[in-house]
Chains A and B, each alone.
Chain A
C-alpha cells in the first residue's frame, strides 16, 4: 500500500496570510483573539479572531478576479493559491479538490447580503473554488460538523489509496456570522473572554475565522520540509446524543484506538496530541475521559482554540497544519488560556512553549451529531 503524505500548506488568519505568521505567533504564545464590537453580528462584544477586511480585500484584488467572490471564497482562494503555487503541481484530472466547511456562504441568507441566496448552496462554493483554479472534476464538499477539517484529510487519503486521485488539495474555512454566533449563544456556549480549554475557570467557546489548505499526495517528490505521513485515521460516532458528547468518550476513544491500530503505533509512541479542546464543560470532560481510556493521559497535549477560537470546518485542518510545523520545529506549543486543570481526569497540558524532539502526533476532533475523528501523523524528514 502507498503512503499518503501531507505536504505544502497555508494558513490565512488574523496573524497574516501565511502559515509562518501563525506559527511564529503561537511559538510566542500570542493569542489572535480580540474583543470585537460588531452590531451586525451580535448586540454585545464578542471575542474572536478574524482577518482584517481591508487586508483581505486588497490582497484578493491583486489576483485580478474576473467576478465577485464572497468573503469565504476569498479566504479559501487566497489560501489555496499559495499551496498550489508552492506545490508546482499541474491541475490535471488526477488532482482532486476537497472543500471542508460546516456552513459555507451561509451569510448569503441574510437579506442585506449582496450575493443571491443560491450562493448558500455548498456545491456552489465548491464550484466557485474549482473554476477559479481550473480543477478538472467536481469538488468534493465535506460538511461533517466540527470534525470536517480532519475528516477531510482522511477522505483525501482514501481517495488517493482508492486510485480516484493521485493528489488532493484540501481547503477548509467558515465565517464568523450572526447565524453561527446566535446559535452557539442559544446553547449558552459562547464566552465573551478568550477561551480557556481544560481550565477550571473556563467559560465557553470563541468562534474564529481562517482559511487553511494543504496538499495530500502519494508522490514523495512533492514533499515540503514539514511534510508528514498520515499513518492512521478513523472516525467513530458516539451513537448517543446529537448535541452533547458521550459521557464515556465512546466515539473518540474508539476513533483513537482504531487510528492507533492502523498506524501500527502504541499509545506511548505518540509524542504529542493536538486535541479539540473547545473549552466547553462537556467537550473538555469527554476528551479527558477518552484520552485516559486510551492511556494517553501522560502525553503532552494542547488545544489551539486559545489562539484562533473555534474555526469550525477549518479547525481540524488548521490544527493539523500547525501540528506539522510543531513536529518540524521540535517544539510543543502551549495550550493558551490554561492555568489549572478543570476536568475530572489527569491530562498533561502543555503550559508553555517547550523544545522537544518529536516524530509523531495525534490530532482529534469531535462535533455535533456525535461525530469524532482521530488521525496520527509521522514526520517524513527526521
Chain B
C-alpha cells in the first residue's frame, strides 16, 4: 500500500497580486513586473540584499517560495519547479549583448541566469536546503508529471517534503503557482486537486 501525501500549503503570484492558501496577501494592480515585485518584496518585509542581483525568473521564484518556506523548519525539502519559457526572459538579454561587434558586452552576471535551475539555487541558498533539485520545461502546466515525481521523491525517502510548481517569466508575462507536498496537510495530493488549485488562486 502506498503512503498518501497531502498539499500542505500553496500560493499564487499573477496579475499584480499574491495569494497564499486562497487568501489575498497583496495586490497593487501593477502590471510592470519590476515595479510589482519590488513592491511585493517591501510589503513582505524581506531583508535579503541578494534579491536585487537576481533576474526576473529568480525574483519571482524567490518571493513565491519564501511565502511557503520562511516559517517551515523542515530542511529536507526537495525543489521541483517547471515552466514554459525556461530562462528565455534572460536569454534574450544575453543574446542582445552579443549580437553586434560594436555593442559586444556579455556579462557573467547576466549569463549565469541563462539557466532555469538557477532559481532553485537561489531558493536553496536562502533557506539552506541541501536537497534534491529538478527543473522541468513543459508546453503548459503539467500536474501529472509533477505529481508522480514528487510522490517518487517522498516514497524513496529522498525528501520529507517537496516544494513543487510552476514559475514562468516571459517578456513581462509572469505566473507562479507553488505548493508544498507533505505527509500532512489540507488537501489530498492528487492530479485533480493540483490542477484545481492551479486554476483558482482564491479560496474555493
Chain B nearest CB from A179 CB (Å) reads 6
* Nearest B residue (CB) for A251: B130
* Nearest B residue (CB) for A237: B124
Determine the main DSSP class of B at the interface with A.
Answer: mixed
Chain A nearest CB from B85 CB (Å) reads 7
A163, A240, A371: the one contacting B125 at CB < 8 Å is A240
B133 contacts chain A at the CB level, 8 A cutoff: yes
A104, A106, A144: the one contacting B117 at CB < 8 Å is A144
A289 contacts chain B at the CB level, 8 A cutoff: no
Interface pair A179/B98, CB less than 8 Å apart: yes
Binds A, one of B34-42, B103-111, B193-201: B103-111
B22 contacts chain A at the CB level, 8 A cutoff: no
Query: What B residues does A126 contact at CB under 8 A?
Result: 137, 139
Interface pair A186/B152, CB less than 8 Å apart: no
A369 to B98: give the CA distance in the assembly, Å: 23
Interface pair A159/B142, CB less than 8 Å apart: no
Binds B, one of A18-26, A115-123, A213-221, A336-344: A115-123
Query: What A residues does B98 contact at CB under 8 A?
Result: 178-179, 182
Known: A141-B136, A179-B94, A186-B106. Contact between A237 and B84, CB under 8 A?
no
Known: A186-B108, A237-B133. Contact between A140 and B117, CB under 8 A?
no
A151 contacts chain B at the CB level, 8 A cutoff: yes
Chain B nearest CB from A255 CB (Å) reads 9
Query: What A residues does B124 contact at CB under 8 A?
Result: 237-239, 370
B28 contacts chain A at the CB level, 8 A cutoff: no
B 93-129 to A, binary, CB cutoff 8 A, 1 in contact else 0: 0110111000010111001101111111110110111
A104, A122, A183: the one contacting B106 at CB < 8 Å is A183
Q: How large is the interface on B (under 10, 10 to 19, 20 to 34, 35 or more residues)?
A: 35 or more
A109 to B95: give the CA distance in the assembly, Å: 7
A143, A151, A187, A238: the one contacting B115 at CB < 8 Å is A143
B68 contacts chain A at the CB level, 8 A cutoff: no
Interface pair A185/B106, CB less than 8 Å apart: yes
Query: What B residues does A240 contact at CB under 8 A?
Result: 125
* Nearest A residue (CB) for B158: A234
Interface pair B155/A162, CB less than 8 Å apart: yes
B79, B94, B135, B156: the one contacting A183 at CB < 8 Å is B94
A197 to B114: give the CA distance in the assembly, Å: 25
B183 contacts chain A at the CB level, 8 A cutoff: no
A 67-105 to B, binary, CB cutoff 8 A, 1 in contact else 0: 000000000000000000000000000000000001110
B128, B130, B135: the one contacting A236 at CB < 8 Å is B130
A164 contacts chain B at the CB level, 8 A cutoff: yes
Interface centre among A103, A138, A162 (most CB of B within 10 A): A162
Query: What B residues does A141 contact at CB under 8 A?
Result: 136-138
A271 contacts chain B at the CB level, 8 A cutoff: no
Interface centre among B98, B137, B153 (most CB of A within 10 A): B137
B149 contacts chain A at the CB level, 8 A cutoff: yes
A254 contacts chain B at the CB level, 8 A cutoff: yes
Interface pair B148/A138, CB less than 8 Å apart: no
Query: What A residues does B133 contact at CB under 8 A?
Result: 144, 235, 237, 369, 371
Query: What B residues does A109 contact at CB under 8 A?
Result: 91-92, 95
A161 to B115: give the CA distance in the assembly, Å: 28
Chain B nearest CB from A154 CB (Å) reads 9
A158 contacts chain B at the CB level, 8 A cutoff: yes
A185 to B119: give the CA distance in the assembly, Å: 22
Interface pair A143/B116, CB less than 8 Å apart: yes
A170 contacts chain B at the CB level, 8 A cutoff: no
Interface pair B129/A239, CB less than 8 Å apart: yes
B86 contacts chain A at the CB level, 8 A cutoff: yes
A155 to B152: give the CA distance in the assembly, Å: 9
- Which A residues between 114 and 162 are near B, CB-CB below 8 angstroms? 120-123, 126-127, 138, 140-145, 151, 155, 158-159, 161-162
B44 contacts chain A at the CB level, 8 A cutoff: no
Interface pair B145/A164, CB less than 8 Å apart: yes
Interface pair A111/B99, CB less than 8 Å apart: yes
Query: What B residues does A36 contact at CB under 8 A?
Result: none
Query: What B residues does A111 contact at CB under 8 A?
Result: 99
Interface pair A159/B94, CB less than 8 Å apart: no
Query: What B residues does A142 contact at CB under 8 A?
Result: 134-137
A243 contacts chain B at the CB level, 8 A cutoff: yes
Known: A155-B149, A243-B112. Contact between A254 and B120, CB under 8 A?
no
B132 contacts chain A at the CB level, 8 A cutoff: yes
A269 contacts chain B at the CB level, 8 A cutoff: no
- Which B residues between 69 and 99 are near A, CB-CB below 8 angstroms? 79, 84-86, 88, 91-92, 94-95, 97-99
Interface pair B130/A238, CB less than 8 Å apart: yes
A142 to B134: give the CA distance in the assembly, Å: 7
Query: What B residues does A102 contact at CB under 8 A?
Result: 115
Known A-B contacts: A143-B117, A155-B134, A186-B107. Give 6 more (CB < 8 A).
A121-B86, A121-B137, A123-B84, A143-B136, A179-B114, A237-B130
Chain A to chain B: the 8 pairs with minimum beta-carbon distance, closest first: A369-B121, A183-B111, A237-B124, A158-B152, A141-B137, A122-B137, A123-B139, A186-B106
5 examples of A-B residue contacts, CB within 8 angstroms:
A142-B135, A159-B152, A186-B106, A186-B108, A369-B117
Residues of A participating in the B interface, judged by any CB pair closer than 8 Å: 102-104, 106, 109-111, 120-123, 126-127, 138, 140-145, 151, 155, 158-159, 161-164, 178-179, 182-187, 234-243, 250-251, 254, 258, 262, 367-371
